[in-house]
A and B are shown apart, each in its own frame.
Chain A
Amino acid sequence: AQSVTQPDIHITVSEGASLELRCNYSYGATPYLFWYVQSPGQGLQLLLKYFSGDTLVQGIKGFEAEFKRSQSSFNLRKPSVHWSDAAEYFCAVGPYNAGNNRKLIWGLGTSLGVNP
């Protein structure tokens, strides 16, 4: 069955440190992959997406992610974390089937804390 796993429920890093958030997926076809960020009290904002081509994709706010087919992973990275990056991060895979069904499969999220 298709699924998305974010193994880390909560991560805390120090400001200025590097960050890697993990995302593993199980999907029967070539996936479309997304990372979203949710600040407290806000909706989800798209950080970046992978459809095809270069497996290292750049996103907004200085984030990047690397698609590794052999590991079924799409990990999110940032070289230097800022206090404003404290938020919830969600990985998603899709679409689940085609046609009119454009549903995404969502991970449960990773909460990021940033120490000053």
Chain B
Amino acid sequence: DAGITQSPRHKVTETGTPVTLRCHQTENHRYMYWYRQDPGHGLRLIHYSYGVKDTDKGEVSDGYSVSRSKTEDFLLTLESATSSQTSVYFCAISESKGTNQPQHFGDGTRLSIL
């Protein structure tokens, strides 16, 4: 299994508070992704990174920001959490060689915003 650690695994917080989720990889892969998974919507890409300090938006980026200061860490921040951001968040990584590399996933963070 790919070495991907997401923290925390579970979090409950209140509307309006800032929240940061961390994804840590030990594979030295160039690409990292943040998804959210909601019933009926499948996986939706929030942001992704193609290198240190190189990030871009996905399809549901509003209300989220990311940072990648080191190859191994990709942080997802909810500046002011809203109830609509209650979801399960997954981090994924993929290698840079070729365009056909699969993504490998962490075990997810279950985030509840009350």
Enumerate chain A interface residues (CB-CB to B < 8 A): 32, 34, 36, 41-46, 49, 51, 90, 95, 98, 100-104, 106-109
CA distance A46 to B50 in the complex (A): 21
Q: Told that A42-B108, A100-B50, A109-B42 touch, could you supply 5 new A-B pairs with CB distance under 8 A?
A: A43-B106, A44-B90, A44-B105, A102-B31, A106-B42
What is B's interface to A at a CB cutoff of 8 Å?
A: 4, 31, 33, 40-43, 45, 48, 50, 54, 56, 58, 90, 92, 94, 99-108
Q: Enumerate chain A residues within 8 angstroms of B4, measured Cβ to Cβ.
A: 43
List 26 A-B pairs, Cβ < 8 Å.
A32-B99, A32-B100, A34-B102, A42-B107, A42-B108, A43-B4, A43-B108, A46-B104, A49-B100, A49-B102, A51-B100, A90-B43, A95-B100, A98-B99, A100-B54, A100-B56, A102-B31, A102-B48, A102-B101, A103-B33, A103-B45, A103-B48, A103-B58, A106-B43, A107-B42, A109-B42
